[in-house]
C-alpha cells in the first residue's frame, strides 16, 4: 500500500472488535506494520520481511521485541506524561494487556501475514501478481492509459481499506472510553509528570524526528526515477511513514530516560504497567 498505516490494519481491527480481551491488539497492529520497516531505505531491495520465510524468521521475533519494548518502556511513560483528560481517550485504549506468548505470537503472525498477502496481490512483483495473469491484465483508464489490475487493487484497497479501518478504529476508541470505572487502568492515573517533564517528553522527540527525517529530502530528490517507478503518492507516503518511525524511536528513547527525569523532578516513580 502507498502508506503502511490504516489500510494494512483493515484486516486486524475487526478481530480486535470481535475478540476483545482474547487477542492482543498491540501484537496485531505491530505485526501489520513490521514488514514495511524494510522500506525505510527507499533504494534498498528489502531484507525478506515480505517473504513467506520472513514472516516466521524475521517479522515474528521483531514484532515480539517491539511489543515488549512498547509494553515495558513506552506505555508506562506515555501514561505518566499524558494529561489525565487525554489518558482515557487516547492512551489507555492502546494499552497492551499481557496474554499467553502463544496467543501473542499468533496475533503477531496474523498481522504480518495479512500484510504480506495484501502486498502480494497489490505489488507488481508480488507473488500473486506474478502467478495470476488476471492481476497483470491491463485496464484502460481514460487519460491514465493502461493500468494493470494489481495497481487498481493497490489504490482501491488503500482508500477503501483505510476508510474501513478508520471506522473500526473509531469504534474501538468509543468502546475503550466506555470501560467501567475501577478497571486496572484507573490505578495508573494516580501519577502525573510535572508540566516541564510532560512537555519535554512530547516536544523533544517531535523535534528530533523532524530533524532526522529532513535528511531524507536530498535522498529522494537524488532518485527521481522513484517517482516514475512508484508514483509520488507512494514515495511521499513512505516519507511520512519513515517520519512516524523516527518519532516512535525518539519516543522510545525518551520513555527509557523518563524514570530518571521524573524521579529528579517529583520524587515519584513511573508506575508499572
Ligand atoms: Zn508492505
Q: How many angstroms is it from 103 CA to the middle of ligand 1?
A: 23
Q: How many angstroms is it from 117 CA to the middle of ligand 1?
A: 9
Res 182: pLDDT = 44
Name the residue with higher pLDDT: 184 or 98: 98
Which is it for the CA torsion 59, 202, 12, 87, positive or negative? positive
* Cα–Cα distance, 72 to 77 (Å, whole number): 9
Q: How many angstroms is it from 1 CA to the middle of ligand 1?
A: 6
- The residues whose Cβ lies within 5 A of ligand 1, an ion, are 35-36, 119
Q: How many angstroms is it from 127 CA to the middle of ligand 1?
A: 13
Contact assessment for residue 75 and residue 95, using Cβ atoms and an 8 Å cutoff = yes
Res 241: pLDDT = 83
Q: Which residue in this structure is represented by grid cell 528513547? A: 253
Which of 260, 211, 214 has the alpha carbon at shortest distance from 270? 260
Q: How many angstroms is it from 113 CA to the middle of ligand 1?
A: 10
Q: How many angstroms is it from 116 CA to the middle of ligand 1?
A: 6
Q: How many angstroms is it from 125 CA to the middle of ligand 1?
A: 12
Cα→Cα distances 209→113, 118, 248, 256, Å: 29, 29, 8, 16
* Cα–Cα distance, 273 to 269 (Å, whole number): 12
Q: How many angstroms is it from 36 CA to the middle of ligand 1?
A: 5
Res 205: pLDDT = 93
Backbone dihedral region for residue 168 (phi beyond 0: left; psi -120 to 50: alpha; all else: beta)? alpha
Res 266: pLDDT = 53
Q: How many angstroms is it from 170 CA to the middle of ligand 1?
A: 24
Please say if the pLDDT value at position 76 is more than 90.
no
* Cα–Cα distance, 75 to 19 (Å, whole number): 22
Res 264: pLDDT = 61
How crowded is residue 94: how many other Cβ atoms within 10 Å of its Cβ? 16
Contact assessment for residue 30 and residue 70, using Cβ atoms and an 8 Å cutoff = yes
Res 183: pLDDT = 47
Q: How many angstroms is it from 34 CA to the middle of ligand 1?
A: 8
DSSP characters over the chain: --SSSSGGGTTTHHHHHHTTTTS-HHHHHHHHHGGGGGGGSTT----STTSHHHIIIIIHHHHHHHHHHIIIIIHHHHHHTS-HHHIIIIIGGG------HHHHHHHHHHHHHHHHHHHHHHSTTSHHHHH-HHHH-EEE-GGG-EEEHHHHHHHHHHHHHHHHHHHHHHHHHHHHHTPPTTSGGGGGGG----HHHHHHHHHHHHHHHHHHHHTHHHHHHT-THHHHHH-HHHHHHHHHHHHHHHHHHHHHHHHHHHHHHHHHHHSPPPPP-
Which of 92, 98, 97, 273 has the alpha carbon at shortest distance from 178? 92
Q: How many angstroms is it from 177 CA to the middle of ligand 1?
A: 31
Convert the pLDDT of each residue in 157-213 to its tens digit: 888 999 999 999 999 888 877 655 444 444 444 567 788 888 899 999 999 998 888
Q: How many angstroms is it from 47 CA to the middle of ligand 1?
A: 12
Q: How many angstroms is it from 79 CA to the middle of ligand 1?
A: 30
Q: How many angstroms is it from 51 CA to the middle of ligand 1?
A: 10
The whole-number average pLDDT for the span 136-158 is 84
Amino acid at each position: 500500500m502507498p502508506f503502511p498505516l490504516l489500510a494494512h490494519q483493515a484486516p486486524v481491527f475487526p478481530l480486535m472488535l470481535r475478540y476483545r480481551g482474547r487477542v492482543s491488539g498491540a501484537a496485531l497492529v505491530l505485526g501489520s506494520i513490521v514488514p514495511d520497516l524494510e522500506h525505510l531505505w527507499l533504494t534498498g531491495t528489502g531484507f525478506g520481511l515480505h517473504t513467506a520465510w520472513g514472516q516466521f524468521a524475521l517479522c515474528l521475533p521483531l514484532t515480539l521485541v517491539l511489543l515488549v519494548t512498547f509494553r515495558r518502556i513506552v506505555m508506562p511513560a506515555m501514561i505518566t506524561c499524558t494529561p489525565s483528560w487525554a489518558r482515557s481517550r487516547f492512551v489507555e485504549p492502546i494499552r497492551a494487556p499481557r496474554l499467553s506468548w502463544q496467543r501473542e505470537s499468533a496475533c503477531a503472525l496474523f498481522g504480518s501475514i495479512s500484510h504480506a498477502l495484501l502486498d502480494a496481490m497489490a505489488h507488481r512483483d508480488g507473488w500473486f501478481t506474478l502467478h495470476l495473469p488476471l492481476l497483470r491484465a491491463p485496464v484502460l483508464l481514460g487519460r491514465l492509459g493502461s493500468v494493470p489490475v494489481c495497481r487498481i487493487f493497490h489504490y482501491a484497497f488503500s482508500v477503501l481499506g483505510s476508510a474501513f479501518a478508520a471506522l473500526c478504529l473509531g469504534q474501538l476508541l468509543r468502546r475503550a472510553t466506555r470501560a467501567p470505572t475501577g478497571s486496572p487502568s484507573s490505578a495508573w492515573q494516580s501519577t502525573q509528570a510535572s508540566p516541564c517533564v510532560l512537555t519535554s517528553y512530547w516536544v523533544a522527540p517531535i523535534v528530533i524526528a523532524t530533524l532526522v527525517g529532513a535528511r531524507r529530502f536530498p535522498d529522494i530528490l537524488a532518485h527521481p526515477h522513484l517517482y516514475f517507478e512508484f508514483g509520488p503518492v507512494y514515495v511521499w507516503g513512505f516519507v511520512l511513514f519513515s517520519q512516524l518511525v523516527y518519532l516512535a524511536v525518539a519516543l522510545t528513547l525518551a520513555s527509557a530516560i523518563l524514570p530518571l527525569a521524573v524521579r529528579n523532578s517529583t520524587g515519584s516513580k513511573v508506575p508499572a504497567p
